[in-house]
């Protein structure tokens, strides 16, 4: 699992096995071929490395955190 962090450093979603979820555990999209797609298959963000950007690359959406073990117990 990897958190999706905005430019202010706050997590607003997470990626698990290629599926993007909100913090309320609702499926909101998927990672496919270097893009985040919504559930209808429309590309909404570009992914380059750990960075997430608008489709034209002019706006930074955020970045993915390092992978974490989802069974990690606090």
Q: Is the pLDDT of residue 11 over 80?
A: yes
Classify 51 as helix, strand or coil. Answer: strand
- The b-or-e profile of 43-67 (16+ CB within 10 A means b, else e) is ebbbbeeeebbeeeeeeebbbbeee
Beta bridge partners of 4: 13, 64
Residues in the chain: 74
pLDDT digit string, tens, across residues 36-49:
999 999 999 999 99
What pLDDT score does 73 carry? 57
Q: How far apart are the first and last CA of the chain?
A: 15
């Amino acid at each position: 699992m990897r958190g999706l962090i905005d430019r202010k450093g706050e997590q607003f979603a997470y990626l698990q096995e290629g599926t993007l979820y909100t913090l309320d555990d609702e499926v909101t999209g998927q990672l496919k071929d270097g893009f985040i797609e919504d559930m209808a298959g429309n590309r909404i963000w570009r992914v380059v490395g750990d960075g997430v950007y608008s489709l034209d690359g002019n706006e930074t959406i955020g970045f993915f955190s390092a992978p974490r073990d989802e069974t990690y117990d606090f």
